[in-house]
Structure 1
Amino acid sequence: MRVLTNAGRFTPPGQGEGRRYTEELRVPDLSVGTYCVPVGGKDTQLPHTEDEVYVVASGRAKLTAASGTVDVGPGSVVFVPAGEEHRFTDIAEDLTVLVFFGPAEYTRRQT
């Protein structure tokens, strides 16, 4: 067992960064991280080769994907399949999201 002590805690991005991602756990079939985007920050992520589940710990925003747009806030859980373009927009409150990748992020080959 391993307790992920800092998972889900807001950590502001560094100077000149619009967002921050901290990987909390990595095993072959799963990785878990905390994604933080402050009000005024910009989510510039590109589609991933792994499936993702987002669990919003705090904050409010929209999650815009190729398949649609949804409002997210504390407790929201959203699945984004591998390869689907997506990003958080309209950040209304500092956003903290737990991100679960299956398999672990960057383990599938790019095609």
Structure 2
Amino acid sequence: MTHVSALDLLDRLNDENGNYAEVLDEGSMRVEIGRHAAGDAAPKNPHTEDELYYVVAGTGKVRVGDDVHTVEPGDTVFVERGLEHDFFAIEEDLVTLVVFADSSNPSSYSLRD
């Protein structure tokens, strides 16, 4: 069993350089927490795994392929492996929990800018 406090995750994110911190890596699943400041844009970052984003806090827009949606706390966004996607027009600091399915290929992490 793995138990992680959301407050501890946010503290860890504050202490690390970059926008993402790893929550867990358990074979076929990897989970990260990410944050992007208001006014920023997250670069397009296709991966070799399917991804699920859960919006914890903040508001903005997400582009997945050719589709664009507004996101707010409680929203989920599914991104099929290999599909370009990005967050942009971030109005309030955006915090997401990111679940990568089938993380058997660790080299996919190197695709993130």
TM-score (norm 1): 0.82
Secondary structure class of the residue paired with 1:9: helix
CA apart distance, 1:56: 0.2
CA RMSD of aligned residues (A): 2.5
Give the equivalent residue in structure 2 for 1:91: 90
Counterpart residue number, 1:103:
102
Deviations 1:3-24 (A, max 9, x none): 122476374587xx7x511011
Q: How far off its partner does 1:55 sit?
A: 0.3
What corresponds to 1:57 in structure 2? Answer: 56
Indicate the SS of the match to 1:24: strand
CA distance in 2, matches of 1:87, 1:27: 25
What is the count of residue pairs matched by the alignment? 106
Return the letter of the residue paired with 1:43: A
Tell me the distance in 2 between the aligned counterparts of 1:46 and 1:77: 17
C-alpha deviation, 1:107, in angstroms: 3.4
Cα displacement (A) at 1:46: 1.6
Aligned partners of 2:55 and 2:97 also within 8 Å? yes
Q: Structure 1 vs Structure 2: percent identity of aligned residues? A: 31
Q: Secondary structure at the match of 2:10?
A: coil
Q: Mind listing any 5+ residue stretches in structure 2 that lack a counterpart?
A: 109-113
Greater percentage in helix: 2
Name which of structure 1's ranges 77-86 and 36-45 shifts more when overlaid on structure 2: 36-45
